[in-house]
Structure formats: structure tokens, C-alpha cells
Structure 1
Amino acid sequence: MASPVVEEEVAPKVDGVDAYVGDHAALDYETPKVVNGSLVSIIGDEFKYLAELHLDVEDGEVVSHEFTRHSLAEAVDRGLEPNTEVADLVRSYQDQLEEEVGEEIGRTETTLDAREKVVRREESNLGNYVAEKMRNHLDADVDVALMNGGGIRTSEQYGPGTLTQRDIINIFPFGNRLTVLEVTGETLRSALENGVSEVERLSGRFPQVAGMEYTWDMSNEVGERITEVTVDGDPLDPDTTYALATNNFISGGGDGYEMLADAPQTLKPVNGPLLSSLLIRRIEAETPIAPERDGRITVKNANWETVAAEKIPLFA
């Protein structure tokens, strides 16, 4: 599976690979890049394009290649029709899926806010709910939770009213799992600094949190934007070790959270639940839910006019 992570982290370190193809990334390249002698083809998500890559091989070595990027929308406009047998099979699976995911799992008494302009730059009531469920999953001594806003998708609002499995799966489409880390207060502060470092670009790294409150100043230089952090009402201690619940994308260093990549894991992702499954179970058990904004994230000197209308790619 090719992605910017492969281009930046895998291909430079691995020799002998001719090509990396296939991906679920928010970028698409008009032609493959060459990294450490390997072709890296990134063709985007949501099936907008189909890549065709031909390799010319002589004596076991790739000597040249031809690449074509096909637009599926343009192909349909030209009269491309689906294979009847494949289309029938897809419809049968869609019907089965529709029946299952369309079922009501609960209700919300407040409007759940998954809009990008909220979850990627300020406190969201849905972000609060997700982070709280992550923090409280083990009924153990987990101090804080951090969820990247880019992991909350659809950019829509839900309710008040019925919630279905489809709603939750659409909002949390990635296969991210819960993990719990041990981090120092200094590392936690660095993580928050990273989280607010690209708000102007609506970066998905923005931190929705639980168990802590933080204040950030948009007018400050990047790296100096976090002005106050408290955990359970007490000032963050840089030398204290805190239990941090997050998802495996973040714990692996995704979205710029490299400071968490080597932190000890008290709950490894392989043992943690899928976030979508965790939230479906909690909504079923707690319905009706009514999450609110409570002031855990404070923004100073916000100038939303500087925030780009188009987000940067998210590789979760």
C-alpha cells in the first residue's frame, strides 16, 4: 500500500523494491516518483482515479516504465458501463450492508459537530465525547486522552435525533485502534504544540482532548502557542508521567506526533478496540447522549480568516 508514509519513511530505507502501488491517501500524483530507485505511485482515495503502470524489465531489472492516470468520472462520461455480473454482486453486498448499518444504535439530544472547521481548530462536543470514551474505556487510571481532529470525518452535523451504525462508521472510517501510552508532562505539552501548529491549514493534527484543559494563542509563533495546560485541574508538571489514551495512528507518530512514537505502551493497539466499534457500543449503552462543549479548549487571538478553506492531506 503506497502512501506518503511509504515515500517518506519506507522507500528511503528499503532497497530492492521495484514499485509501491495502491493506496488510500488524500494525494494523487500525475506520475510516480522515484525514491531510492523505487517507483512510488500515489493515486488518491475515494476511487477518483485508476492508475495503470507498465514496467519494462530486462535481465531482472526495471529499465523503464509507462504510467497512465485514468479519471473514473471522465470514463463514465464517455459511456463506460460496469460489468453486469460484478455490478449485481456489488449490489447484493450493498443491500446486506444497508440492512445492518442502517439500524438505529441510539439517539443524541444535542447536535454532534463533525465539521472540519470545528474539529480541526477548536473544541467540538463530538470531539469531547470521543476523547472521553477513549479515556474511560478501561475503567482504569488513564489521565488524559487525545484524538486528532482529522480522524473525525464527514464534516457534517448529526441530530438531535437518531444515530445509526452508518453514521459512526462514516465519521470514523479508519481502522484506528485505541492505545494507551506513558508520557511525561513535557512530552504531552510538545504533543499539544504539534497539534496547534498548523491550524491555519486546517491540519488534521488538531487535538480534541479529555482529562485536561489547554489554552493556545493563535498569534504566537509555532512551537510557543500553548500558554496553559491543566490535568484534572492541576497545572501540567513536565516531570510527571501521565497515562495518555490515543489512537494507533497518533501513537505511531502520524500527523507530526513523532514525540509519541517511542513512548511505552500500556495498552497496545493490537489489544485495543476499533474506535468506531468502541463508540457504537458506548452510544448503545448510554443513549440518549448529550455531549456539550465545556471550555476545555480555549483559543486566544483567533483569526479564522487566515485559515485556509482547503485542508492539507491527512494520512490516517
Structure 2
Amino acid sequence: MIKIIHTNDIHGKIEKDEKTKVDISKFSAKLEEIRKEHSTLLLDAGDTIHGQPIVSISEGKAMIDIMNEMKYDAMVPGNHDFNYGRERLLELAELAEFPIISANIYDEQGDRLLAPYTLKEIDGVKVGIFGITTPETVQKARPEDIEGLRFEDPVLESQKMVSILKDQERVDVIIALVHLGIDKSTMPEHRSDTLADSVEGIDLVVDGHSHTELKASRLIGEIPIVQAGDSMRCIGMVNFIKKACGEAEISSEFIYREDINGIKEDLSISRILIRVDEENNRSTSEIVGISKRDLNGDRFSVRTRETNLGVLLAEAMKYITGADIAITNGGGIRGSINAGFITRKEIVSAFPFDNYVITKEVSGKDIVKALEHGLSFYPEPSSAFPHVGGISFKLDRLKAQGKRVYDVFIAGERLEERKLYKLATNDFLASGGDSYDMFKTAKMTGSYASIDEVLSTYIKKQAYTGARN
């Protein structure tokens, strides 16, 4: 029996969490226990090396260091793994002591950007593992991060891989390691269930992208699909037996935080986390700009009125994404930045959540609804209070809620309710957080860097800010 242990959509969430996440140092210790008793494969289905300051400050190296120590066998890149750019992903692939694979990403010359597959021999069983990355990367990554790349059809590329692995490599088992997901918002031809239903010869699909907990009982035809949620909330484990007749016997389970609470930490992983924290503290002392004034992130202020820090962030989001307007919520701002030199550490402290920037296609009518909603409690404080960029409007406090916003202008022109605008916001609001339900079903058009990265980049480009109060 082979134990296939799988992770996906970690999003850099490897710091200790007393509530929900699996402790990565204890997971590593559990992994060693399993390896003593069983032959194993350790796979990751992408969106792993980006998302939290602990990994993003080193542009993914910290995560690769940990994966090397844990002896991962293979990883497929997800859309967010391009957030540092294609060249940085290639650099990280060189640093990785395991293959980062994808069969459907091609460069300008028509060559594959990465190795399409890898081979492993386990207890006399030859296993072929190929990677597939979501074509949604084209919409969800910054254009400059994937410039010149093509993300080809998952089904067609998978069929090519199965043919090569069976006919040329003569493997006994084929695993599709994919970052596709099963979201209904994803085009059917780009989903993992479509791939499993359309490609013969695959024994197991290890999936990511949709943040779904899928056990092997999730079958398409006879091909099981597994996926382990997101953010280290659980670890997936597949029990895989290849019978003499050629058929596979498969079952799976999840490992949750409470399942390994009593296990001692893997000290090698704990030491890496301590080292990374020390390196990050030194790195975040980097000066990214200068402010002539205090940047106000006071809790009461950002929940009752626009402040210069909130507006600065909104303008940064609009600038980096090329959006028409930006809206972010006061509740996401958790501290002020003093006048003078601005360090990365101060920015991370002011915006401590793991939010990243999303663009969506939103109607003028829904933009007005969003403003009305964000100001519905005004003048009382609310975490939903909107800080905006690229848009101006007036508010009549004497009118009833839902009818107080008027004279709305975007880029100097009066807002048109039926017109579609490109909105930049954070992923929390984009998914309906703070009851911004009007954004939830809007079409997503792009996925960008974390809030602190976007603001740091913008401030660097401005050299200094004279942000007004």
C-alpha cells in the first residue's frame, strides 16, 4: 500500500494558530511516523508559496525551504504561485529539491515552462505524476507576471501525458496533480471533474484551487478526486493499493488539527520557522518610502470617515490593477503609520490580515448599492465603512438608508447604472464579507498580490507620500 499525502491552497499559512490550522511542525512529525510504517508520496496541488508575509517577504523561498525539509515529492503551481512573476517561479523551481511540474504551460517559443511530469518507483510500482495548472491564471494573475505564457486545455494536455506515461514510460500508476478545482464559476472544460470524466487511464486526481474538502468517494466514472480544503485546515491522505489485475483499491481520509495535537513538533521545521521569522524581521525594517504626515489608521476613525491611510490604500489598489475604482473596508485597517520613514514592518502591522487584491466586473447600480451599504450605519462606526479611490459622491444623511448616496462620478463622468466598471477590492469584500453581497456573484477578472505588498509597491513608486488627513 502507498500512502499518498496531499496538501493544496496553503497560501503561505504556516505560522502557528491556536484555533484552526494544522501545525506544520506537528504535521511534519506525523509524516515521519507514517513514513516509518508505509511507503509514501507527498504531493502539493498549488497556491502554496504566496499569501502570508512569512513566505511572501522572501518571495516564496521560506515555503520552499520547509517543503524541502519535509521531502515533498512533487508540486503543481497554482495561479497564485505566479504572484512573484514567472522568472521568480523558475528560480524557486531551481531551489526546490522536488520537481515543480505542469504540462499545460507554454512559453513564447512553444516550449513547456516546467517539466510536465515526474516518475517515482515505490515498492516495485512505477508511478507517473503529471501536473496541470488552471487556465484561469490568465484572468487571476497580473498580466506582467505571466507575460508570454499560454495555459493550454487541461483535457488535451492530460491525454498527451497519459499517452506518454503509458506508452513510453511504461508506468503502472498515473496520478494527475492538478490545480483546477470544481467551482461552478469555473468553465466546465477547466474543472477537475471534467478532466477526470474525459481522460482515460488516470488512477487518481489530486486537486486544488476550489478550497474543497474532497475524499476519494468523490468519483467521476471510476476515477477518484481528492482535495484538502485550504489554509492547512486539514491534510489529505489516500490509501492506494494497486492490485495484480491492474485495478486500484483506494480510500482516503483527512488529518485535522485535533488529530495531531499530542504529537511533539518536528524541531527541524520549528528551527526553520524561527530562522525565517528572524530574517523577516530584518527584511521588514526596509524603508519603502517617506510620509510627510501621520497616516491615520485609528480604529474609530477608519470606521466613521475616510482617512489618508484608507484612501492611500484604495489609490494603490486602483493603480496596481488598472481598475476604474477601488473600495476597501475600514475594518481591514488595524493601525496607523507615523510620519517619516515608512518601513515594510509598519505596513504589515497596519494591514495584518492575509487579504489580497481582487478585481471584479461590477455594474454602476451595484457600486451605488455598495456605497449605500458601507455608509448605512453612518455616523455610527462600522467595519464596512468604505474607503475609495477613483470615485466621488455625495451623501445626504437626512434621507432614508439606501437612498442617501447621490452625484456619483467616476473619472470625472457621472456613473451609469447599467455600465460595467472594473472594481479593485480585497478578497474579503469580493466574497461578500462585511455583507457586501452585491460583490459576491460579480465576475472576477483578476487576482493580485497581498494588501501589504500592493501598498508597499505603490509607495515605492511614489518615492514619498504627502497624504492629506
- TM exceeds 0.5? yes
Following superposition, the deviation at residue 199 of structure 1 comes to: 3.3
Q: Does 1:191 align with 2:366?
A: no
Aligned to 1:160: 339
Matches within 5 A, 1:47-62: none
SS at match of 1:186: helix
TM-score by length of 1: 0.59
Cα separation, 1, equivalents of 2:428 and 2:398: 29
Cα separation, 2, equivalents of 1:216 and 1:172: 28
Q: Does 1:254 align with 2:437?
A: no
Following superposition, the deviation at residue 94 of structure 1 comes to: 5.0
Choose which of 111, 123, 141 in structure 1 pairs with 2:294. 111
Aligned to 2:303: 120
Cα separation, 2, equivalents of 1:118 and 1:23: 31
Choose which of 317, 323, 330 in structure 2 pairs with 1:149. 330
Code of the aligned partner of 2:400 = E
Code of the aligned partner of 1:123 = E
Contact 2:297 2:333 in 1 (8 A): yes
> Structure 2: which 5+ runs fail to align?
1-17, 22-266
User: Percent of pairs identical after alignment?
Assistant: 30
Aligned to 2:458: 282
Deviations 1:9-39 (A, max 9, x none): xxxxxxxxxxxx9259xxxxxxxxxxxxxxx
Following superposition, the deviation at residue 200 of structure 1 comes to: 4.7
Q: Does 1:214 align with 2:393?
A: yes
Deviations 1:121-172 (A, max 9, x none): 212111111111111113x4x2111111111112x3x232011111000111
Cα separation, 2, equivalents of 1:258 and 1:114: 25
Q: Does 1:178 align with 2:357?
A: yes
Following superposition, the deviation at residue 241 of structure 1 comes to: 1.2
Structure with higher Rg: it is: 2
Cα separation, 2, equivalents of 1:208 and 1:161: 23
Code of the aligned partner of 1:273 = A
Choose which of 224, 231, 240 in structure 1 pairs with 2:403. 224
Cα separation, 2, equivalents of 1:281 and 1:200: 33
Aligned to 2:285: 102
Following superposition, the deviation at residue 93 of structure 1 comes to: 5.8
Code of the aligned partner of 1:161 = G
Cα separation, 2, equivalents of 1:253 and 1:162: 35
Following superposition, the deviation at residue 232 of structure 1 comes to: 1.6
> Structure 1: which 5+ runs fail to align?
1-20, 25-84, 294-316
Code of the aligned partner of 1:198 = F
Following superposition, the deviation at residue 191 of structure 1 comes to: 0.6
Code of the aligned partner of 2:297 = A
Deviates more, 1:180-189 or 1:209-218: 209-218
SS at match of 1:204: coil
Cα separation, 2, equivalents of 1:174 and 1:92: 22
Following superposition, the deviation at residue 95 of structure 1 comes to: 3.8
Cα separation, 2, equivalents of 1:112 and 1:266: 30
Aligned to 1:50: none
Compared CA separation, residues 119 and 102, structure 1 to 2 (3 A): same
Cα separation, 1, equivalents of 2:435 and 2:397: 19
Cα separation, 2, equivalents of 1:224 and 1:121: 19
SS at match of 1:199: coil
Aligned to 2:162: none
